[in-house]
Structure 1
Amino acid sequence: MPQLLLELFSEEIPARMQAQAARDLERMARDKLAAEGFLPEALKTFAGPRRLTLVAEGVPVAQADRHEEVKGPKVGAPEQALEGFLRKNGLAREQLIERDGVYFAHLHRHGRATPQIVAEIVESIVRTFPWPKSMVSGTSKLRWVRPLKRILCVFDREVVPFEIEGIRSGDVTEGHRFMGSGQPFQARDFDEYQDGLARTFVVLDAEERKERIMDAARTLCFARNFELVEDEGLLDEVAGLAEWPTPVMGDMDPAFLDLPPEVIRTSMRVHQRYFAVRDPATGFLVPHFVTVANIEAKDGGATIAKGNAKVLSARLNDARFFWNEDLSKTLESRLEKLKGVTFHAKLGTMFDRVERITALARDLAPFVRPDGITTQKAEQAARLAKADLVSGMVGEFPELQGIMGGYYAEKEGLDPEVVDAIRLHYRPQGPSDAVPVSSVAATVALADKLDTLVSFFNIGEKPTGSKDPFALRRSALGVIRILLQTRTRLPLRKFASDDLLAFFADRLKVLLREQGQRHDLVDAVFALGDDDLVRIVSRVDHLDRFLATEDGKNLLAGYKRAVNILRAEEKKGPLPAGEPTDMAGAPPEESGLINAVGHAEIELGKALDREDFEAAMRELAALRASVDAFFDKVLVNSDVSAERDNRLRLLVKVRDAMGRVADFSQVTG
């Protein structure tokens, strides 16, 4: 079947917008084609520095005829409404059908030629494309990310004719701005298009550009026994800056290596978009960098490398100035300046936040490690952790907050545990980020995140839907990961409100679900009112394994049967109070369950007191046979009221005994 090829060619598209633009183009094209009855066999989009491209395979040459019933106004509606309906659909009054007090019409629409539909679709996409930022150029009314220069639109090897703000569609595009032939070339299908771009030094696919960059950069480093410091975010960016990416290795002044490596890498990355290079034997940076040019230079990139080295030296000289200036002051001396930095209009200054974090660290430390030394060091680290926010280096590179504070603390000769706590207190900042596990660092990181959560929840700034402007979900996951990894037995209720506890429960479910656990088990355990996440996760883990066994599945079925009976009886009135007794003449299965559940209660209590959840599950497993036998042989709703009441008391006892392990009513399945 025929192929549709579309290219929207413009001035440079910012690298950060390209990936989303490709997704938006695919989504919009797929939705609009589907609305016209077209379902392409394949549809793919590409984005690069100067072009958005779409290719759709298997698009029919024409739209199929369509028959549809259209609902009109109600019978007796105003005449204007009826006339409007007839006019809109090109109908006469006698074509209407009345059914259930409403007018309907049967429409037959002849399918249109695909090029006519494609022209309308492309114009709609271009005029409504959701660029984060856009502009108009000259006298044109069209808003595009940068001035739109050309539209290539071909279907079944023929140009789809249309015009948008003076730009006529065609079958012509152009290659690399500098290395191409300088002449546009014709492309009537995707193969001709891709081959033509390759001949004129354009790599169309972003993933191919990334592979080209990494392969060449690694080769350059390997040839000199170095190793590339890989950076996925930087790779995404530079792949969006060059149509014909060509890595070049440059040299930097070795004297700059006395700066912290994070400063060097950040200056390279943020200001110049260079990759750092290190010695694989030591892991230390070496005085070289890799930049990605957009041309293959005749001198092998020597001139490019020299020019980039000059610019980098200027940037690193600035960094050295900040470094030296920052070292002239202590972290403690910077705290006063935090009083002039607003954290949030309703939460005071950054100094106020420091005082809250310090108090929290003092309260949290005994739970992380119950010794006075940890508390003392955690207080000191918490007090100084935010001081680098008013340093020159962090002012220039905000992403180095915490890291620079660690360096300054180290230069002051502070305790190594305090240094690490300052350096690591923002961690973990994402799911792949390491968790601080030493007692002082874990305490300060917990204090930092708990203050964020408690403060914003207190002023009603909670996440809603997909909006989370203060990254509270990330903070909660950070707290959870620290507590679980350090095995810290923290009673969260001591520090969090009920709605914040519910928020932690929700985040814990997300985390466990990502690890393959069932979220309903988290609900079942949280329902007990426990606020110790370490204990909760242990219960969930043992409960999950128990319910995977035959004993677990059958006991759960018995529990649900008992609960259903009790709920039905509760609708009639209060359940009988008291303990079940071993009544004379009672079936042995009833007596057996009374004895079994009595024994289970005692042993469950012992196991739960010592947090031996494996033993608790064994006790539940031992209860299964007696529950099965009871339901198999004993009629709960006996005609003898004394028997009925006794058996209801017994079911209450079974429910309550199992309820000490988890709220099984919240377990699905």
Structure 2
Amino acid sequence: MSKYLLEIGTEELPAKFSYSVLKQFKSLIEFELDKKLIKFEHIVVTSTPRRIVLLLEGLVDYAEDKIIERKGPKANSAYLNGCPTNAALGFANSLDIDVGELEIKNTEKGDFVFGKKIEKGLSTKISLSSIIPKLVKSLQGPRFMKWGAGNIKFSRPIRWIASIYNDEILDFEFDECDPKIKIGNKSKSHRLINKVLEVQNPDDFFELLKENRVIGIRKERKEKIESLINQASKSLNLKPDLSEGLLNELTDLVEWPDLIIGKFSDEFLDLPVEVLSTVMKSHQRYVPLLLKNKSFSKLDLSSEKNISTTFCVISNGLEESNNNIAKGNEKVLRARFSDAKFFVESDKKVASIERNQKLKSVSYLKGLGNIFQRVERIEEVTKKILKFLNDKSLEEKKIIEAAKYCKNDLCSEIVFEFPELQGIMGGKYLKYEGFSEDVCLAVAEHYLPSFYKDALPSSKYGAIVSIADKVETLISIFISGKRPTGSSDPYALRRNLNGVIKIIWDYELNLPLDKLFNELIDFWKIAFPNLNFSRETVFNDLNQFLVQRIVSHLEEISLSKELIKAVCSPDELSQKKVLNIVDLKNRIKSIMNFKEKENFVEIQKVITRVSKLANNSNLSTDVFSTKDYVDTKLFEKDCELKVFEFIGELEKLFSEGYCNYLELLNLFEININTIEDLFDNEKGVLIMSEDLKIRNNRLNLLSLIRNYSLKIADFTLLNS
């Protein structure tokens, strides 16, 4: 078994590309080797800021032989009286096989002669020499560049390529770079050591890099960074504010991680912790250290209770330079914090109501006015939501006030400099001005959730303003004709609607979105008489989009495909029920609880049998009363009367307009034998009676049972 090493040496790669290229590179090489029938035991694809590395182990020296079956002439042309003709001999000769190896096979067009040709597997070295250059040129990423006079495009200029098969250089053509690259066995050390390394064998490669301050295995580098930060934090009795995203970025910024501890002045603890953290993490790639066991408020304008003045820097420098690196980073951080402090102090001098007025000068979408007008629409949406919810526990005045000021910080200096702090700073400034905590927190959290698995607003006030903000965006974009198509979603409408669904789902808000859309489209029609759009088309598109996102939400919370299909079946009645998110959640919970019962399979089978027979009836799925549809005078046996009485119990259950779905399922469980008796050879009846009136009467009985079962799910689609 052989080994192959490929190292593509470059100028410093962008951290995101250095990470994202690994999966892409791995899938491409696996696809190409599989296509060439080249087997291997293990593959390693890794990267550092200056190199992308491929290591193949347990590699066969030759690809597997390929058996190719070819179709030849018709059998009656190939053989005459059992002897091969010139046609058979010529066909065998073309395949380089003996005529006796030909076979006759029957096809749709008659009997034909077939022959098998064995194509010998190519040398792995020859295959790799053609695969590798094609693969490198096919890698993709953002903002690829050309350099020099060459034609090749890559994330950053390629400076060297090492290609080693066992202990030999595996050469290949790669002539499009400028300056021209010679394929060899030379690698390079850490940039600050600046040594050329000779790689004798793939086995020695990663150890050779380590000896020259390069940890080539990305996973190992990541674990070392995490360990360094955790050890330092523990020794200081602090907690690192280290997200997975920041850890990944640090991993792809250094080849030999070294930890440096820095400090900033206490004077900057007057700034909000989010400002300090954003500057350190997003702008400088430092790791803030938080105080342990301290209460945290999103509305605090100072951070002395939350964060330490000590922070961590992951350096790619030499150890002897650590003191200078620490001083340099502290100096940079002081300048950034000083700017932030100036912005916050300037913002404090301006009232939120003044900033709100400035929103009139900030454009929104073409034809939809400015941000101030958008805020007015958010207020209107909020009022509509409150009307539908009719929740007496909420103070409407506070929620409308939160909606009014939710965008006030868009005209603040701190948000202009740090856009990721919008909403958060708005809530803090309102708190500083003396607004109620409910209003301030609602403003601070109204952008939540901003991505899948993000936290939700912590109060109903924030939840309602968040829904209003997202719904306003949704309707404005749909009305302007810029709805998502395919994978394109420039206004993040899918993410917005996902957030609305998640809030309603978790808070169990009885908010009929289809009815809300209906009223709001009328409001937009009045507000924008010059906008040319079809009210009916927009409404239908919004509802269709909503159903798609609800189904997507169910998939994201890991419900089975069968259950999703059963509760979201494509008929019109089911689609309308899907739009009621709280009702949908209750139906799903009831089914999942009921599935735990031992006799669920039996119940599901009986309802499925009933539903399939009911398809022979003309009774609509929206009929739930026996009146005018079932004639008791046509009953021939007691089992029919008992089923009729069972349907009466179902009618009574739904007569008050509210249904406990577990009660519905319990009724089915109690009466399952009653339904089964209909099909019993002795007690039962023949559903498809020759008497048309009796047949329709019995089918209507079954249809009513089916219709009530459809109130919770389509049992024919449930996988028992």
TM over 0.5: yes
1:13 match:
13
Task: Note the alpha carbon deviations across 1:437-467, whole angstroms, 9 max, x for none.
Answer: 4232122111011112222233343333333
| Residue 540 (1) aligns with residue 550 (2) | no
| Residue 511 (1) aligns with residue 556 (2) | no
Question: What displacement does 1:59 show?
Answer: 2.0
Question: What displacement does 1:371 show?
Answer: 4.3
Correspondence for 1:593 among 639, 643, 656: 643
Q: In structure 1, what is the Cα distance between the partners aligned to 2:460 and 2:233?
A: 39
Q: Closer, same or farther in 2 for the Cα pair 1:353/1:70, shift >3 Å?
A: farther
Q: Which moved more, 1:472-481 or 1:220-229?
A: 220-229
2:230 match:
218
Question: What displacement does 1:193 show?
Answer: 0.4
Correspondence for 1:567 among 600, 605, 615: 615
2:197 match:
184
| Residue 377 (1) aligns with residue 428 (2) | no
Q: In structure 1, what is the Cα distance between the partners aligned to 2:395 and 2:415?
A: 28
Whether the 8 Å CA contact 2:546–2:579 is kept in 1: the answer is no
Q: In structure 1, what is the Cα distance between the partners aligned to 2:31 and 2:456?
A: 43
Q: In structure 2, what is the Cα distance between the partners aligned to 1:145 and 1:38?
A: 29
Question: What displacement does 1:346 show?
Answer: 4.6
Q: In structure 1, what is the Cα distance between the partners aligned to 2:363 and 2:370?
A: 4
AA aligned to 1:273 is R
- 3-state DSSP of counterpart to 1:164: coil
Q: Which moved more, 1:236-245 or 1:515-524?
A: 515-524
Q: Closer, same or farther in 2 for the Cα pair 1:246/1:585, shift >3 Å?
A: closer
Q: Closer, same or farther in 2 for the Cα pair 1:201/1:483, shift >3 Å?
A: same
Whether the 8 Å CA contact 1:427–1:435 is kept in 2: the answer is yes
Q: In structure 2, what is the Cα distance between the partners aligned to 1:217 and 1:642?
A: 81
Q: Which moved more, 1:549-558 or 1:15-24?
A: 549-558
Correspondence for 1:144 among 129, 154, 157: 154
Whether the 8 Å CA contact 2:614–2:700 is kept in 1: the answer is no
Correspondence for 1:522 among 561, 567, 570: 567
Question: What displacement does 1:216 show?
Answer: 1.2
Task: Note the alpha carbon deviations across 1:585-625, whole angstroms, 9 max, x for none.
Answer: 8223223222222233223445xx34322222211222311
| Residue 35 (1) aligns with residue 86 (2) | no
1:252 match:
264
Correspondence for 2:508 among 483, 487, 499: 487
Q: Which moved more, 1:334-343 or 1:374-383?
A: 334-343
2:483 match:
462
2:536 match:
none
1:556 match:
604
1:294 match:
316
Ranges in structure 2 where 5+ consecutive residues have no aligned partner? 73-89, 96-101, 295-304, 518-538
2:140 match:
130
Q: Which moved more, 1:452-461 or 1:386-395?
A: 452-461
Correspondence for 1:285 among 303, 307, 321: 307
2:348 match:
327
Question: What displacement does 1:121 show?
Answer: 0.7
1:602 match:
652
Q: Closer, same or farther in 2 for the Cα pair 1:35/1:660, shift >3 Å?
A: closer
Q: Closer, same or farther in 2 for the Cα pair 1:119/1:425, shift >3 Å?
A: same
| Residue 500 (1) aligns with residue 542 (2) | yes
Whether the 8 Å CA contact 2:38–2:62 is kept in 1: the answer is no
Task: Note the alpha carbon deviations across 1:407-466, whole angstroms, 9 max, x for none.
Answer: 211121112111111101001112332211423212211101111222223334333333
1:25 match:
25
2:419 match:
398
Question: What displacement does 1:667 show?
Answer: 4.2
1:308 match:
329
Q: In structure 1, what is the Cα distance between the partners aligned to 2:384 and 2:634?
A: 58
Correspondence for 1:655 among 694, 703, 706: 706
Q: Which moved more, 1:275-284 or 1:43-52?
A: 275-284
2:696 match:
645
Q: In structure 1, what is the Cα distance between the partners aligned to 2:460 and 2:379?
A: 15
- 3-state DSSP of counterpart to 1:305: helix
TM-score by length of 1: 0.89
- 3-state DSSP of counterpart to 2:701: helix
Q: Closer, same or farther in 2 for the Cα pair 1:584/1:389, shift >3 Å?
A: closer
Whether the 8 Å CA contact 2:340–2:414 is kept in 1: the answer is yes
Question: What displacement does 1:210 show?
Answer: 1.8
Q: Which moved more, 1:99-108 or 1:531-540?
A: 99-108
Q: Closer, same or farther in 2 for the Cα pair 1:348/1:631, shift >3 Å?
A: farther
Question: What displacement does 1:294 show?
Answer: 0.7
AA aligned to 2:311 is F
Whether the 8 Å CA contact 1:231–1:275 is kept in 2: the answer is no
TM-score by length of 2: 0.83
2:297 match:
none
- 3-state DSSP of counterpart to 2:46: strand
AA aligned to 1:186 is V
Question: What displacement does 1:474 show?
Answer: 1.8
- 3-state DSSP of counterpart to 2:144: coil
AA aligned to 2:707 is D
Question: What displacement does 1:52 show?
Answer: 0.4
1:235 match:
247
Task: Note the alpha carbon deviations across 1:466-492, whole angstroms, 9 max, x for none.
Answer: 332222222122112222332321121
Identity %: 30
Q: In structure 2, what is the Cα distance between the partners aligned to 1:339 and 1:382?
A: 16
AA aligned to 2:694 is E
Correspondence for 2:183 among 140, 145, 169: 169
Q: In structure 2, what is the Cα distance between the partners aligned to 1:530 and 1:51?
A: 51
Q: In structure 2, what is the Cα distance between the partners aligned to 1:622 and 1:313?
A: 73
Task: Note the alpha carbon deviations across 1:7-45, whole angstroms, 9 max, x for none.
Answer: 111111111111111111111111111121113222220
- 3-state DSSP of counterpart to 2:498: helix
AA aligned to 1:192 is D
- 3-state DSSP of counterpart to 1:631: coil
Whether the 8 Å CA contact 1:579–1:649 is kept in 2: the answer is yes
The two structures, once aligned, show a CA RMSD in angstroms of 3.1
AA aligned to 1:507 is R
| Residue 202 (1) aligns with residue 247 (2) | no
Whether the 8 Å CA contact 1:604–1:616 is kept in 2: the answer is no
Q: In structure 2, what is the Cα distance between the partners aligned to 1:141 and 1:203?
A: 32
Whether the 8 Å CA contact 1:361–1:375 is kept in 2: the answer is no
Q: Closer, same or farther in 2 for the Cα pair 1:52/1:643, shift >3 Å?
A: same
Q: In structure 2, what is the Cα distance between the partners aligned to 1:70 and 1:124?
A: 30
1:611 match:
659
Aligned positions, number: 643
Task: Note the alpha carbon deviations across 1:326-353, whole angstroms, 9 max, x for none.
Answer: 1221121123332332322253322222
Task: Note the alpha carbon deviations across 1:51-108, whole angstroms, 9 max, x for none.
Answer: 0001112221122343435799xxxxxxxxxxxxxxxxxx9999499x9699999766
1:419 match:
440
Q: Closer, same or farther in 2 for the Cα pair 1:178/1:366, shift >3 Å?
A: same
Whether the 8 Å CA contact 1:528–1:662 is kept in 2: the answer is no
1:86 match:
none
- 3-state DSSP of counterpart to 1:344: coil
Q: Which moved more, 1:507-516 or 1:21-30?
A: 507-516
- 3-state DSSP of counterpart to 1:339: helix
2:79 match:
none
